[in-house]
């Protein structure tokens, strides 16, 4: 699983730390979501997510294979971006 970070401003040490903390919080949450919809033998390295740090929003990147996108897009925003995303930051 790969994350692309989107934020305004400089790539300073504070922003790097914020991104690291977000990744440690998001990775298990997203993994649980993926496992609830896919087989455990799935190659999860193919999944890419865009994280907009300024807007507190995670989206499925178009780098994720389309067959997986179609499976995980229903319910993704509700599960991952629901009220609990702000508590991850």
CA distances from 70 to 8, 55, 67 (A): 30, 24, 5
Rounded to two decimals, what is the model's pTM? 0.86
At 18, which helix (H) or strand (E)?
helix 13-35
Query: Rg of the chain's alpha carbons, rounded to an integer?
Result: 13
How many CB atoms sit inside 10 A of residue 49's CB? 21
Residue-wise pLDDT tens digits, 27-72 = 999 999 999 999 999 999 999 999 999 999 999 999 999 999 999 9
**Sign of the CA dihedral running 48, 62, 85, 81:** negative
According to the model, what pLDDT value does residue 11 have? 85
């Amino acid at each position: 699983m790969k994350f692309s970070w989107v934020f305004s401003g400089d790539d300073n040490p504070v922003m790097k730390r914020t991104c690291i903390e977000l990744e440690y919080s998001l990775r298990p949450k997203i993994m649980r979501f993926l496992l609830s919809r896919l087989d455990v033998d799935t190659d999860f390295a193919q999944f890419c997510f865009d994280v907009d740090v300024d807007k507190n929003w995670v989206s499925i990147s178009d780098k994720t294979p389309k067959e997986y996108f179609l499976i995980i897009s229903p319910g993704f925003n509700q599960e991952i971006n629901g009220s609990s995303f702000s508590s991850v930051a």
